[in-house]
Amino acid sequence: MKVLYLLRHAKSSWDDPVLADHERPLSPRGRRAAARIAEHLNSEEIRPALILCSSSRRTRQTLELVAAALPDVPTQVEADLYGAGEGSLLRRLQQLPDTAGSVLLVGHNPGLQDLALALAGGGDPETLARLRAKMPTGALATLAAPVTRWRDLRPRGAELVAFVVPRGLS
């Protein structure tokens, strides 16, 4: 079984209109949301074997805030994850070492939501409907795939086992 955690970066700031998209930081609201997700990771004892993170400033800052809940997890910041679509993200996951039983991918929409929906061949219908409707900033989707090798991960080959949004966490 392989477990995939898809975390959309928290809310970013648009305060500086001339700042390049890649360099936009988190807003104060985004920082609070990322802290809520960190608490959730701790309370659920979520411990991925590996973290992949887009190189954008807002994804790196989101990761910094959730990293306290994930001590000693190897992390790779990858430029190719910035703005990556569903197909690119799936191909990247299929290249993961099979020794990693779970991975946290910190990235962007629409790629993350499209990937989650493409992979989710099952799960609670209500939870799937919420994911279809929107994957807001700071949302975390958890998928479980009954495969032993990442290269065997396929569309409709996983189950959506959880979908949380910062606003729904206390």
Residue 96 has pLDDT above 80, yes or no: yes
pLDDT digits (tens, 9 = 90+) for 36-48: 999 999 999 999 9
pLDDT at 49: 97
pLDDT digits (tens, 9 = 90+) for 121-146: 999 999 999 999 999 999 999 999 99
Nearest Cα neighbor of 166 from 137, 143, 144 is: 137
Which residues form the domain of 7?
A: 2-168
The predicted model scores a pTM of: 0.97
pLDDT at 68: 87
- Once rounded to an integer, what is the mean pLDDT over residues 32-38? 95
- Identify the CATH number of the domain in which residue 66 sits: 3.40.50.1240
pLDDT digits (tens, 9 = 90+) for 47-81: 999 999 999 999 999 999 999 899 899 999 999 99
pLDDT at 28: 96
Number of domains in the chain: 1
CA distances from 51 to 13, 27, 82, 106, 167 (A): 24, 23, 15, 8, 23
